[in-house]
Structure 1
Amino acid sequence: MPAPRKYPQELRERAVRMVFEIREQSGNAPGAIARVAQQLGVHREALRGWVRQAEVDGGQRPGTSTADAQRIAELEREVRELRRANEILKSAAAFFARELDPRPPR
């Protein structure tokens, strides 16, 4: 279960949208993130991360998109489950092979 988020999703989306609007109006002006963060009462580095992720998701910056990261996490979880099931099946096969062995135990 993921940890609770400090900032609601609507605030995140609004803050990112505001940063993009300021950058569009003023030609990628420095300090846009700091200004928006101060206006909304959000930590600057948190907003910087949200903006970076939005840029990755939008194809403006290289990196792993949110959808890809979720898919990777799902696949890793599935691999863990399959490995666990495989170990259980190996143990069961070894147990039943011993039970069916006609030689007496030592």
Structure 2
Amino acid sequence: MARPYPREFRDDVVRVARNREDGVTIEQIAADFGVHPMTLRKWIRQADIDDGAIPGKTTNEPAELRELRRRNRLLEQENEVLRRAAAYACRPVAARARLRRARPSRGWARQLRRSRPA
């Protein structure tokens, strides 16, 4: 598994690679910092994308996309709850009355209290 490098370290290595003198290769800079040359090339490419020099997904986009998807799921759940509540509220009165009659009511408890001797 790849070793995670701190953000500051990556930024420093990319800055050194961008400001290198003539004749100094990416491979030499990568060896000096102890990273693989392809890793350094990827960091430089990602830094160019983040700076807007080349098109592509910025570093923050995947996290932002995850957050937006999570928010979308939450809103869809809230919408479903409201849709069900609206469907219940829009039923005809007779249908709601049937549901009330199907459940034991307080009238049942009152009848028990009345039947008990005081």
Q: Which AA in structure 1 matches 2:13? A: A
State the shift of 1:91 in Å: 3.1
Aligned counterpart in structure 2 of residue 26 of structure 1, from 22, 27, 33: 22
TM-score (norm 1): 0.63
Q: Note the residue ranges of structure 2 that are not aligned, 5 or more in a row.
A: 100-118
Shift, 1:72, TM fit: 4.2
Q: Distance in 2 between matches of 1:59 and 1:21?
A: 18
| Superposed CA offset, 1:8-56 (max 9, x none) | 111111111111112xx328x7x41x33222212243432222111111
RCO comparison, higher one (Cα < 8 Å, 6+)? 1
The share of aligned pairs that are identical, in percent, is: 37
The residue that corresponds to 2:9 in the other structure is 11
Rounded to whole Å, the distance in 2 between the matches of 1:49 and 1:101 is 66
Name the SS of the counterpart of 2:19 in structure 1: helix
The 4+ residue runs of structure 1 with deviation greater than 6 A are: none
Q: What one-letter code is carried by the residue in structure 1 that aligns with 2:57?
A: T
> Are residues 1:89 and 2:82 paired?
yes
Q: 2:55 aligns with which of 45, 54, 62?
A: 62
Match of 2:34 among 14, 38, 41: 41
Could you say what secondary structure the match of 1:66 adopts? coil
Identify if the C-alpha distance between structure 1 residues 84 and 45 changes in structure 2 by more than 3 Å, giving closer, same or farther: farther
- The CA RMSD over aligned residues, in Å, is 3.0
Q: CA deviation at 1:71?
A: 4.4
- The structure whose Rg is larger is 2
For 2:68, which of 49, 72, 75 is the aligned residue? 75
